[in-house]
Amino acid sequence: MAEEFITHSAEETTRWGREFAARLKAPVLVLLSGELGSGKTTLAKGIVSGLGAAAEEEVTSPTFTLVHVYGREAKVYHADLYRIESQADFETLGLEEVFAAPAVVILEWPERFAPRTEWPQVRLRLEHLGGDARRITVLSGE
Ligand SMILES: Nc1ncnc2c1ncn2[C@@H]1O[C@H](COP(=O)(O)OP(=O)(O)O)[C@@H](O)[C@H]1O
Ligand SMILES: [Mg+2]
């Protein structure tokens, strides 16, 4: 059964992500679905900081840079697949190396392109509920 949570501010979503991070163990792929502005990057800030890989304010949207890497030994990757349309595009990200060693890989717009990996997945869906309210649904990993 899917778990659902409602948040009422960006801060609350970040806090939720920090707590959710305790449930993540590398190697794992975290897929963040949801429209523009639904809070994927805001949630990623919480996950990355909850994993102890970077401070919240260091986590910014990888929209233009495509992939950000945080952490020293335990790596956390955060990528945005919004502009990825083909295997060739995907390869330009250099994500193959990412999957060579256990890490936490957070992907925004995973429906744009599905990376080929056997890693366990956790799917989180974000939805606008009007104003600053958002629903976060944990669609159990498979
Ligand atoms: N409850 C909430 N959760 C997440 N973001 C919120 C919330 N309420 C308002 N916001 C605002 O919505 C925007 C979400 O942007 P962002 O996280 O970049 O979304 P996405 O990565 O999905 O495009 C931010 O400006 C954030 O401050
Ligand atoms: Mg984003």
pLDDT at 74: 84
Q: Out of 13, 20, 42, give the residue to mutate to test ligand 1, the one with the largest number of ligand atoms within 8 Å of its CB.
A: 42
What is the CATH code of the structural domain delimited by 3-139?
A: 3.40.50.300
pLDDT band at 121 (very low <50, low <70, confident <90, very high): very high
Is residue 17 within 8 A of residue 51, CB to CB? The reply is: no
The pTM (predicted TM-score) of the whole model is 0.93
SS3 51: coil
pLDDT at 141: 64
pLDDT in tens, 31-89: 999 999 999 999 999 999 999 999 999 999 987 777 898 988 789 999 999 988 888 88
Cβ 17 under 6 angstroms from ligand 1: no
How many percent of the chain have pLDDT more than 70? 98
SS3 103: coil
Is residue 136 within 8 A of residue 44, CB to CB? The reply is: no
- Ligand 1 center to residue 83 CA distance, Å? 19
- Ligand 2 center to residue 22 CA distance, Å? 22
Cβ 137 under 6 angstroms from ligand 1: no
- Ligand 2 center to residue 40 CA distance, Å? 5
User: Among 14-28, 40-54, 89-103, 108-122, where is mean pLDDT lowest?
Assistant: 89-103
Nearest CA to ligand 1 atom 25: 37
Cβ 62 under 6 angstroms from ligand 1: no
The dihedral formed by the CA atoms of 10, 17, 52 and 91, expressed in degrees to the nearest 10? -100
Domain ranges of the chain: 3-139
Closest Cα to residue 120, out of 13, 23, 53, 4? 23
Nearest CA to ligand 1 atom 9: 132
Q: At residue 113, does pLDDT exceed 70?
A: yes
Distances (CA, A) of 85 to 63, 67, 110: 14, 16, 11
Q: Which residues contact 122 (CB under 8 A, 6 or more apart)?
A: 23, 24, 28, 29, 30, 31, 138, 140, 141
pLDDT at 127: 98
- Ligand 1 center to residue 24 CA distance, Å? 22
